[in-house]
């Protein structure tokens, strides 16, 4: 079985390499029908066969301006096409639920400062926070993988195109609950929008398998973000459209350009099944397939990636304490890191622990498909869902265990909580979520090399 999986993975690499050529050309072109369209990969497709043996080099002083500006050469993101003309795979035509266009908060204008996207070495930039030679091209140009801008949503209870086991990113702010299906996020990686009155960017990086949400407000600026087409530690590098500084998706910190050193505020987001989201937030909303782009939503362009032995486009050293693509739950605070291997958490289901001076608890529930396994995401292997919460509620300590009827029961009160920390008692207090990453070990160790491994 192992040999078969590796063979399939190798075939997938070839297909993804070909798709990399497609996305570089049509990633930001006008929307097309999904019929017959070649799938585009994420921001970090593997190199083509010709490129595989070529050494990637950092642009020198003489060619530092060769990076195309967003919008150059026909790479503008198109205006979303009307829903009646752009039907992505899985939509239902006239029977689709009404889409909801939430009122956005406007971003601030482009600033007249040197671009870190086009000129990483500009003398007016602060000192970069990373070695520029470690930034690698993922293939597509800036915004070649088109972010979604203030997209439309559908009432969760009316969605019938999303299988219950498919993974979604669950985000709740001020009572406004949204689900971002990975079948969409895999093809766009960034969503700029407004949730609960807060301007946010939701981001998913397939190669390091991590999802984050950030508050887009920085001082008096409201930023919006694009995909740079670059990678650092095999992780998406974003850029803001106001100053064109480069930002690490993984840390939320500007690493090159005018805003170097600035950090975005993290907002907790969880990867759970659509069934989990709908159960917790029946009045919530789901990112619509009506994106304005023709993509093979529901198909996985990274077939069997999480069964591979090595990550794509990662040149750093591996931490041998765990295998590189081991799934882990990762936490970070004030430059410190800690991880819980998923196999440990999936065996115990409840892991109480201390981190950065806080008493926390990690939870695991089966029933969520991997977005990086089967060609059809809904058929991906069960990798479950995780949550991390403060280990107290209303000032009282929690003692959670798996409930026979599902969820997690507190020994003291008998209250049952779901994987999103919602109580069975409608009038009860929800658990306080703690920002964390469901990610691969190689990435967690690269960004936090002294990370503690909990549970071993």
Are 142 and 23 in contact by the 8 Å Cβ rule? The answer is: no
Give the closest residue to 431 by CA, choosing from 423, 443, 442. Answer: 423
452: β partners: 338
User: Looking at residue 97, what is its pLDDT?
Assistant: 66
User: Looking at residue 96, what is its pLDDT?
Assistant: 58
Q: Which residues does the chain have with pLDDT short of 70?
A: 1-97
**How is residue 146 written in tokens?**
């088109």
Tell me, what DSSP letter sits at residue 217?
E
Residues with Cβ within 8 Å of 295's Cβ and at least 6 positions away in sequence, in order, are: 34, 37, 39, 40, 88, 89, 184, 187
User: 366-383: buried (b, 16+ CB within 10 Å) or exposed (e) per residue?
Assistant: ebbbbbbbbbebbebeeb
Are 194 and 102 in contact by the 8 Å Cβ rule? The answer is: yes
The sign of the dihedral angle between the CA atoms of 209, 214, 218, 220 is positive
Domain boundaries, the chain: 2-28+85-287, 316-453
416: β partners: 409
Strand order in the sheet with 400-402: 400-402, 408-410, 416-417
How far apart, in whole angstroms, are the C-alpha atoms of residue 158 and residue 118?
A: 44
How far apart, in whole angstroms, are the C-alpha atoms of residue 456 and residue 440?
A: 17
**How is residue 223 written in tokens?**
């930023």
As a whole number of Å, the CA-based R_g of the chain is 21
pTM attached to this predicted model: 0.82
Give the closest residue to 419 by CA, choosing from 436, 438, 406. Answer: 406
Are 206 and 305 in contact by the 8 Å Cβ rule? The answer is: yes
Residues with Cβ within 8 Å of 432's Cβ and at least 6 positions away in sequence, in order, are: 389, 390, 393, 421
Range list of H helices, 134-287: 182-188, 274-280
User: Looking at residue 9, what is its pLDDT?
Assistant: 39
Q: Is 285 helix (H, G, I), strand (E, B) or coil?
A: strand
Strand order in the sheet with 270-273: 153-155, 285-287, 176-181, 167-173, 270-273
How far apart, in whole angstroms, are the C-alpha atoms of residue 259 and residue 247?
A: 9
Q: Is 86 helix (H, G, I), strand (E, B) or coil?
A: coil
Q: What is the dihedral of CA 265, 204, 454, 422, to 10 degrees?
A: 70
């Amino acid at each position: 079985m192992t040999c078969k999986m590796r063979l399939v993975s190798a075939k997938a690499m070839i297909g993804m390499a070909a798709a990399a050529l497609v996305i570089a050309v049509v990633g930001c072109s006008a929307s097309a029908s999904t019929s017959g369209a070649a799938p585009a990969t994420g921001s970090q497709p593997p190199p083509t066969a010709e490129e595989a043996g070529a050494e990637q080099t950092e642009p020198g002083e003489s060619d530092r301006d060769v990076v195309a500006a967003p919008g150059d050469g026909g790479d503008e993101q198109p205006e979303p096409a009307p829903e009646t003309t752009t039907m992505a795979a899985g939509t239902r035509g006239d029977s689709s639920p009404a889409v909801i266009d939430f009122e956005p908060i406007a971003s601030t204008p482009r600033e007249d400062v040197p671009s870190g996207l086009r000129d990483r070495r500009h003398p007016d930039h602060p000192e970069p926070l990373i070695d520029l030679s470690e930034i690698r091209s993922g293939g597509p140009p800036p915004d070649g993988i088109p972010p979604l801008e203030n997209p439309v949503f559908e009432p969760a209870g009316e969605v019938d195109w999303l299988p219950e086991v498919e993974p979604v990113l669950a985000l709740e702010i001020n009572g406004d609950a949204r689900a971002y299906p990975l079948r969409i996020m895999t093809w766009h990686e960034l969503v700029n929008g407004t949730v609960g009155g807060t301007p946010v960017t939701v981001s998913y990086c397939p190669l390091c398998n991590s999802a984050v949400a950030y508050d887009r407000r920085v001082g008096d600026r409201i930023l919006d973000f694009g995909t740079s087409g670059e990678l650092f530690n095999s992780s998406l590098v974003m850029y803001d459209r106001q100053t064109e500084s480069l930002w690490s998706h993984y840390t939320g910190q500007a690493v090159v350009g005018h805003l170097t050193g600035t950090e975005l505020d993290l907002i907790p987001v969880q990867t759970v099944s659509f069934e989990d989201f709908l159960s917790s937030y029946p009045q919530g909303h789901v990112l619509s397939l009506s994106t304005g782009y023709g993509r093979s939503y529901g198909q996985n362009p990274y077939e069997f990636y999480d069964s591979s032995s090595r990550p794509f486009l990662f040149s750093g050293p591996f931490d041998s304490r765990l295998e590189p693509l081991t799934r882990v739950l990762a936490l970070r605070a004030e430059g410190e890191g800690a991880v819980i291997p998923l196999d440990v958490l999936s065996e115990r289901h409840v892991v109480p622990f201390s981190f950065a001076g806080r008493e926390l608890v990690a939870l695991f529930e089966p029933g969520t498909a991997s977005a990086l396994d089967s060609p059809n995401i809904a058929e991906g292997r069960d990798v479950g869902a995780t949550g991390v919460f403060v280990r107290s509620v209303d000032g009282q300590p929690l003692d959670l265990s798996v409930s026979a009827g599902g969820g997690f029961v507190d020994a003291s009160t008998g209250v049952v909580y779901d994987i999103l920390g919602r109580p069975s008692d409608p009038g009860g207090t929800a658990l306080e979520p703690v920002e964390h990453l469901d990610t691969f070990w190689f990435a967690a160790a690269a960004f936090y090399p002294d990370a503690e491994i909990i549970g071993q």
